[in-house]
Amino acid sequence: LFADVELAAPVVVFQLTADYNADNADKKINLGVGAYRTDEGEPWVLPVVRSVEAQMAIDPALNHEYLPILGLPSFRELATQLILGKDSRAILENRAGGVQSISGTGALRLAAEFLYRYYNKREKSTPVYVSSPTWGNQTAVFKNAGFTDMRTYRYWDAEDRCLDYKGMLEDMLNAPEYSIFIFHGCAHNPTGVDPTHEQWQGIAKACKERNIFPVLDCAYQGFASGDPDVDAYSARMFVDLGFEVLICQSFAKNFGLYNERVGNLTMVMHDAPTLSRCKSQVELIIRAMYSNPPHHGARVVASTLANPAFKQEWLDNLHTMSSRIKEMRQLLHSKLRAKGTPGNWDHIINQIGMFSFTGLNASQVQYLKKRHIYLLSSGRINMCGLTTSNMEYFVDNVHDAVTN
Ligand code: PMP
């Protein structure tokens, strides 16, 4: 029955971690997977998460009953407020609402499934545009939901190592009307380059002109600037300008809750009745897909955001993470410069968020792998994989890779 099933290619970023784990070298560095690491190179459970979990452990009111299909109500409300702002007009007008999802990927999956079934009079040939480059799963998720016309829009200017804003706008203005565009809300993965506020306004204008539907993938709110309000600029801008929009939030990175799979799909519609109808359809999608979401991560996030003291502690924890990344950017930049490694490395300090698109090419990446340094062949590195103790080793090897 299954004799003709072909072996699928491994998922690159997970394979990289497996290769890293299997490597017995004393000195080795994993710059692949997008997870925060301390300066000791260890995973970090946020102290605020530890405190909330300690409280949960002794709370007699907690049980393992099913959550509602759409998820934990307090979590959905607080997550929606976090991205749109408490005083968002859309929230006050009851036309913005959240749906708990299986982390950011699950939010994208729900968005894709909902759009495939109901967007634009159920037009199945709607083109879906992702940035070039992007986090590859966006394409896979939308394809799996049924979309067949996946396209890319220009984003990265490889020569100047910055945003190709002109190219991006051209591609938007040339897109068929009512196309769907997926934007990274902040801290673009993999380039670490975001549009400025002014450029976002230009992007919104192009969306209006072509009736483009924006989907915002927000996996790093708070991780870029250290301030979740600042990182919510693009989402709030679209809502303030009157767009209907789907926003996919992940709490994997900003709460360090990677394996708890906690996310939220914020739906913003023109009016309250439309939101109710759309949410009722998402409810049916979820019911048939996984019935209802898990509790733990949502409870941690909701308990944190609902309590001013915990929320402040979370903001401090976020700041710890984003500052360490910024410090590693500075250190990498200054060490490469001090060593005289050929090339202009200013993009390392200009980029933001967890990742840096180094500009290292595939053969340089291969070279580094032989020195037990693991990164994606695109040259993307997770800045958190660098520490004050392994920086020297990394810089020496980058220097050799570039000069060899
Ligand atoms: N979108 C982007 C751009 C991402 O980088 C990630 C994480 N790698 C996600 C969504 C979703 O991640 P998760 O499902 O773990 O929340």
pLDDT attached to residue 124: 77
- Residue nearest (by alpha carbon) to ligand 1 atom 16: 104
Tens of pLDDT, residues 75-127: 999 999 999 999 999 999 999 999 999 999 999 999 999 999 999 877 778 99
Q: Provide the 10 A C-beta neighbour count for residue 266.
A: 30
Locate all alpha helices (DSSP H) within 182-271, ordered by sequence: 197-210, 228-231, 233-240
Q: Which of 135, 142, 183, 384 to mutate to test the pocket of ligand 1 (most atoms within 8 A of CB)?
A: 135
Q: Are residues 119 and 171 in the same domain?
A: yes
Q: Which of 16, 189, 248, 258 to mutate to test the pocket of ligand 1 (most atoms within 8 A of CB)?
A: 189
Instruction: Please name the helix (run of DSSP H) or strand (run of DSSP E) that holds residue 137, with its range, or none.
Output: helix 137-144
Q: Are residues 257 and 340 in the same domain?
A: no
Q: Are residues 156 and 248 in the same domain?
A: yes
Q: Which atom of ligand 1 is nearest to the CA of 217?
A: 1
Is residue 66 situated within a structural domain?
A: no
Q: Which atom of ligand 1 is nearest to the CA of 134?
A: 3
Give residue ranges with CB within 6 A of ligand 1. 34, 103-105, 135, 184, 189, 217, 219, 250, 252, 263
pLDDT attached to residue 95: 98
With tokens 């906690």, the residue in question is 262
Q: Are residues 283 and 202 in the same domain?
A: yes
In which domain, by residue range, is 389 found? Answer: 12-45+325-403
- Residue finishing a domain among 306, 334, 362: 306
Q: Are residues 296 and 368 in the same domain?
A: no
Dig out the tokens for 293 from the structure.
């979401």
What's the gap in Å between 191 CA and the centre of ligand 1?
A: 14
pLDDT attached to residue 286: 98
Dig out the tokens for 206 from the structure.
């192009």
Q: Catalytic site residues?
A: 135, 217, 253
Q: What is the CATH number of the domain that holds 258?
A: 3.40.640.10
Is residue 281 situated within a structural domain?
A: yes
Is residue 6 situated within a structural domain?
A: no
Residue 180 to residue 214: CA distance in whole angstroms: 6
pLDDT attached to residue 122: 75
Domain count of the chain? 2
Q: Are residues 19 and 83 in the same domain?
A: no
pTM here?
A: 0.96
Q: What is the CATH number of the domain that holds 338?
A: 3.90.1150.10
Q: Are residues 153 and 254 in the same domain?
A: yes
Q: Are residues 253 and 351 in the same domain?
A: no
Show the low-confidence residues of the chain (pLDDT under 70).
Answer: none
Q: Are residues 97 and 229 in the same domain?
A: yes
Q: Are residues 242 and 329 in the same domain?
A: no
What's the gap in Å between 105 CA and the centre of ligand 1?
A: 6
- Residue nearest (by alpha carbon) to ligand 1 atom 12: 104
- Residue nearest (by alpha carbon) to ligand 1 atom 13: 104
Is residue 94 situated within a structural domain?
A: yes
> Which residues, listed in sequence order, are joined to residue 181 by a DSSP beta bridge?
129, 214
Q: Which atom of ligand 1 is nearest to the CA of 106?
A: 14
- Rounded to the nearest angstrom, the gap between the alpha carbon of residue 125 and the centroid of all alpha carbons in its chain is 26
Is residue 53 situated within a structural domain?
A: no
What's the gap in Å between 344 CA and the centre of ligand 1?
A: 29
Residue 378 to residue 392: CA distance in whole angstroms: 22
Residue 153 to residue 170: CA distance in whole angstroms: 9
Residue 60 phi/psi, 5-degree rounding, is: -70, -15
pLDDT attached to residue 214: 98
305 phi-psi bin (left φ>0, alpha ψ -120 to 50, beta other): alpha
What's the gap in Å between 400 CA and the centre of ligand 1?
A: 32
Q: Are residues 111 and 252 in the same domain?
A: yes
* Complex prediction ipTM: 0.99
Q: Which atom of ligand 1 is nearest to the CA of 251?
A: 16
Is residue 332 situated within a structural domain?
A: yes
Q: Which of 217, 218, 254, 264 to mutate to test the pocket of ligand 1 (most atoms within 8 A of CB)?
A: 217
Q: Residue type for 107, please?
A: A
Dig out the tokens for 119 from the structure.
């967007």
Q: Which atom of ligand 1 is nearest to the CA of 135?
A: 3
Is residue 67 situated within a structural domain?
A: no
Is residue 319 situated within a structural domain?
A: no
